[in-house]
Structure 1
């Protein structure tokens, strides 16, 4: 699997990251070990992305890594917030992430994962105003000095990727995580180039838009999916049809392949984190990404003609 530098941190990671939000749904899960994660490690994945709030995820990731006989992967996790509404609405960072709560979350993650050190630790939310109160960062620096974590990052909620620009510009973090996909290519205008310039790693998430970009979901499927239930299905389907007519099979064999290769083609993207709770998903994603970047003219056309500024998450909280 292609390896990429995670900014200027010295960490080299595969272009595909195992997103462990849904690892507990792996149908082959036995004794806390996930066959899908083992398949990802066999395919060359060397970063696993989890979070303190993903039910059972850290424990399963830890057990599966212990069952794996190859080189241990890097692990990224996210600090548990004390303010659920902060995933959508700004509040003081001292309410969402008081220093003591950050320490508690990191130490709980270390215990759940069975590790002595975490490779990447994110704040699970990010609001622009938090750049001006760095008590959260001081605590993460202290935990880094104690040897409990290596790299500090933030996960930018929803489609508010530009909220991290000052954070990246000032070099306050080692990495960022943001939504990037066929419809949401706006991070390529500012955030991703700035990350590349400042040596900050960038993890692209939601690259299949919660399954919407697979092209196989009905209106009922949309309604049943938390992050798609407020999407206008007819509009979404029409936009997918336009993408398919323009690029499938001319530059990619399927919509999912187009989505993965498009995001991986954007300069500044270090890796794509993708939910892969079944072995077949791992195989399909790895095979798609092995085909390499899309033609430059296709990337330009998608960015110019298919960007869709929207936020289906606004009504979730």
Structure 2
């Protein structure tokens, strides 16, 4: 079992940290929201008053933060993780951020003798709760193997996908696919209902055929009911679509469908739905047809 400092106890991080506690690790957590730290304490973790307190004595530090600027500040800042930990610590960033930020952190870590992995996750809040996340890790193979026991307490599909930043590139590909499928499910719902077909029965058939997908499995009921309580917020998916498009530009490839879907997500955010679940893209598709 490991001594883990966990920074970022939001919708995903809170459940992930609690699962590590249940697995027997010693987990000290910090978040800028005090109530999030209190929840970890109630789950059996150790609360920290600040970042330095969270990483003091840690063998492994995990960050789960909203975006590249927050990760860069927490890790690279003058009072950040790299300034506080000793050489040999394993730093695992499980946030979804730009690949170039992950590579910058890995370079800075190497200069201080800190091992670094980028290991973003997929599976949403339910995956975090059930410890069934997909984990896509970038970095050195030996560091990945060292982290594997921790990953196995958090997820089911655990793959070393390449060097530093590769995990973030795979996550960008994941996010463009998820957003695209949500957009198509939204269009299917609008078409079915506008044509007088019962949406629930129609989606039941679609889920059993070649059109079946995890979005239908997990979100069709709430989408049909127009319930958009956040499991993964539009705001965060908007950020991820920006990463996907920037990655495409850097790689010199064209992703035309991704561009269209990114605009649907951006429209949802512009219409004030940023705090809703990403399945609220349905609201934009409905508006386009004045439904």
Give the structure with the larger helix fraction: 2
What's the TM-score, normalizing by structure 1? Answer: 0.30
Larger Rg belongs to: 2
What's the TM-score, normalizing by structure 2? Answer: 0.31
- Using CA pairs under 8 Å that are at least 6 residues apart, name the structure with larger relative contact order, 1 or 2: 1
